[in-house]
């Protein structure tokens, strides 16, 4: 039994709360910016009313055993305001976000040995403040270290009872970069404001391959083991999606919210510069998405 705080109770945080609730043995603390009376998570196995305590003031948060961060990548500063109270007894922080800069984002707020980057695949949507919909199975990847093992143990036997798996890997760099390469081309949908079917045309297919190839080159320079065929696999994977399927960059842009362009295309540009690798397509995508969000332009 552990006391686990979730900071950021949106699509991923809400989904994780339901998965942890299924263990029946944890004390869950939901840390939100506004009071949350209930949290209902609609899962393939039925609705879960999450049994949890809610805190909406970082100063009143209790000390916990684990902190699970599930805010957007651009919300690191506000997220970290929860750490002094939640981590008062040395709790580690699992950063469950997209991109490859989990550590860079939080290193100024937590010691390096307490930070655990997490890659998650969990098809989930936030339907309302207090309602999250999980459409399919969860796959979570963490480093095979003591901290990673301790995080995986939180989910313990849940995997056998629900549709989820925590995988310990000795090549977390590849896991992060595989996902980032896939996500990088999602910027094309957000720019065109069109769902997955956009990438089915010949011209968009060529751009997708070129953009993914840039991301793969940078990922390899960072030590990820990514094959030559990955850009083609990524394109095929997008083309197999229902043509109306909407990625999170597009969903956020459609809803007028900020998008995670910087943690995705921006990160590829930054890491490319470090290795002297040109990333013109990711650079254009990042610049256009940044400009699109700038109210002064
Ligand atoms: N959704 C997916 O299917 C999916 C899949 C894989 C990975 N991811 C990644 O997971 C991360 C989370 O994404 P998401 O889709 O769950 O985002 P989301 O639905 O927008 O949820 C983010 C939550 O963080 C909350 N938040 C922001 N700042 C906060 C603060 N200072 N204190 C407390 N709560 C705060 C927001 O609260 P407010 O309501 O107050 O804004 C919101 O509830 C992202 O990096 C995303 O790329 C998502």
Which pLDDT tens digit goes with each residue over 21-67?
Answer: 988 889 999 999 999 999 999 988 889 999 999 999 999 999 999 99
Q: Is the pLDDT of residue 73 over 80?
A: yes
Q: Is the pLDDT of residue 202 over 70?
A: yes
Residues 31, 33, 38, 43: what is their CA dihedral angle, to the nearest 10 degrees? -70
Could you tell me which residues are beta bridge partners of residue 43?
A: 46
Cα 229 to middle of ligand 1, angstroms: 32
The residues annotated with a catalytic role in the active site are 179
Mean pLDDT of 177-194: 98
- Per-residue pLDDT at 157: 63
Query: Ligand 1 in contact with 70 (CB < 6 A)?
Result: yes
Q: Which atom of ligand 1 is nearest to the CA of 70?
A: 12
Look at residue 98 in the predicted model and tell me its pLDDT.
96
Q: Whose CA is nearest to atom 40 of ligand 1?
A: 33
- pLDDT tops 70 at residue 189: yes
* Predicted pLDDT at 121: 95
Q: What is the pLDDT of residue 114?
A: 97
Beta strands 46-49 and 3-7 are unpaired
Give residue 158's pLDDT band: very low, low, confident or very high (50, 70, 90). Answer: low
3-state helix, strand, coil in the chain (%, to 5): 45, 20, 35
pTM across the whole model: 0.96
Q: Looking at residue 23, what is its pLDDT?
A: 82
Mean pLDDT of the chain: 95
Cα within 13 Å of Cα(213), Cβ side: 11
The percentage of the chain sitting over the pLDDT mark of 70, rounded to a whole number, equals 98
What is the arithmetic mean of pLDDT over 117-133? 95
Ligand 1 and 71: CB distance under 6 A:
yes
Q: Is a pLDDT exceeding 80 seen at residue 274?
A: yes
Cα of 14 vs centre of ligand 1, distance in Å, is 9
Give the residue whose CA is nearest to atom 36 of ligand 1. Answer: 8
Instruction: Identify which of 5, 58, 71, 182 to mutate to test ligand 1's pocket (most ligand atoms within 8 A of the CB).
Output: 71
CA of residue 163 to ligand 1 center, whole Å: 22
CA within 13 Å, CB half, 270:
12
């Amino acid at each position: 039994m552990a006391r686990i705080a979730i900071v950021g109770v949106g699509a991923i945080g809400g989904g994780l709360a339901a998965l942890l609730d299924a263990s029946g043995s944890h004390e869950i603390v939901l840390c939100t910016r506004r009071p949350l009376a209930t949290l209902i998570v609609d899962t393939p196995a039925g609705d879960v009313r999450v049994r949890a305590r809610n805190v909406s003031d970082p100063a009143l948060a209790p000390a916990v055993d684990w902190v699970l961060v599930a805010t957007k990548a651009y919300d690191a500063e506000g997220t970290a305001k929860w750490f002094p109270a939640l981590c008062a007894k040395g709790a580690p922080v699992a950063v469950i976000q997209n991109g490859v800069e989990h550590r860079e984002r939080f290193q100024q707020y937590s010691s390096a040995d307490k930070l655990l980057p997490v890659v998650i695949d969990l098809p989930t949507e936030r339907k309302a403040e207090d309602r999250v919909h999980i459409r399919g199975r969860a796959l979570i990847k963490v480093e095979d270290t003591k901290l990673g093992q301790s995080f995986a143990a939180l989910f313990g036997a849940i995997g056998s009872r629900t549709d989820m798996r925590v995988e310990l890997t000795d090549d977390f760099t590849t896991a992060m970069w595989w996902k980032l390469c896939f996500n990088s081309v999602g910027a094309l949908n957000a720019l065109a404001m069109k769902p997955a079917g956009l990438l089915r045309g010949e011209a968009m297919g060529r751009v997708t391959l070129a953009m993914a190839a840039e991301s793969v080159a940078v990922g390899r320079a960072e030590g990820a083991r990514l094959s030559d065929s990955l850009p083609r696999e990524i394109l095929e994977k997008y083309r197999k999606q229902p043509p109306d399927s909407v990625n999170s960059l597009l969903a956020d842009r459609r809803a007028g919210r900020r998008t995670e362009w910087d943690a995705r295309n921006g990160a590829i540009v930054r890491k490319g510069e470090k290795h002297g690798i040109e990333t013109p397509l990711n650079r254009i995508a990042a610049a256009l998405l940044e400009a699109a969000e700038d109210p002064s332009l």
